[in-house]
């Protein structure tokens, strides 16, 4: 078995504890500050490995965008109205997530861990595609290398946050 075959059959990097803890922070805090921190760190639903966590976080974002606070009851109602409550493990799983942590003090660490593992999964995906394309490339190698460079750069863009905005952009968004 070669390295490529081994890489393609391995489970991608993830940390269920960190994902649950991040979701728990959003539930415990009410969603406003924690989800704002996630957005600044460019966390989105696809940043989560477990599909149920993706659905839960996407629902958090929808509630956040409406200005609705988040707690166990509100998220369960929202998931139920979308027909997704069973898909994510019902009320019992939401309760399990909420009880994973006692404080949101480690929110930045959870955000960083979830984001970093998501970036690794994206890098693995792009690397696998690059390997496949490398076997098929018959044309200009320079164009191929440029495309690979652009694909990898897109991943690193997620490390750059919007914190350093011009004051006029911040002022306009506040108004």
- Angle of the 51-66 helix axis to the 90-98 helix axis, nearest 10: 80
Give which of 94, 100, 96 is closest to 80, Cα–Cα.
Answer: 94
Whole-structure pTM over 0.95, yes or no?
no
What pLDDT sits at residue 4?
A: 55
In degrees to the nearest 10, what's the CA dihedral of 108, 112, 118, 124? 180
Q: Which two tokens stand for residue 113?
A: 């861990």
Least confident among 11-20, 121-130, 148-157: 148-157
- Cα gap 123→128, rounded to integer Å: 8
Q: pLDDT tens digit string along 40-56?
A: 999 999 999 999 999 99
Q: What's the distance, Cα to Cα, between the start and end of the chain in Å?
A: 59
């Amino acid at each position: 078995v070669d390295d490529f075959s081994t890489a393609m059959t391995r489970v991608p990097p993830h940390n269920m504890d960190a994902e649950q803890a991040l979701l728990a922070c959003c539930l415990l805090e009410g969603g406003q500050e924690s989800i704002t921190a996630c957005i600044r760190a460019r966390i989105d639903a696809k940043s989560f490995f477990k599909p149920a966590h993706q659905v839960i976080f996407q629902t958090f974002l929808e509630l956040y965008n409406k200005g609705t606070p988040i707690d166990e009851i509100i998220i369960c109602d929202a998931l139920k109205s979308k027909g997704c409550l069973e898909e994510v493990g019902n009320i019992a799983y939401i309760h399990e997530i909420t009880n994973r942590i006692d404080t949101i003090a480690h929110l930045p660490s959870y955000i960083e861990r979830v984001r970093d593992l998501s970036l690794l999964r994206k890098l693995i995906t792009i690397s696998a595609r690059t390997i496949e394309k490398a076997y098929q490339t018959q044309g200009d190698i320079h164009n191929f290398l440029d495309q690979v460079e652009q694909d990898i750069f897109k991943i690193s863009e997620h490390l750059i946050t919007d914190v350093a905005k011009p004051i006029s952009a911040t002022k306009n968004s506040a108004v």
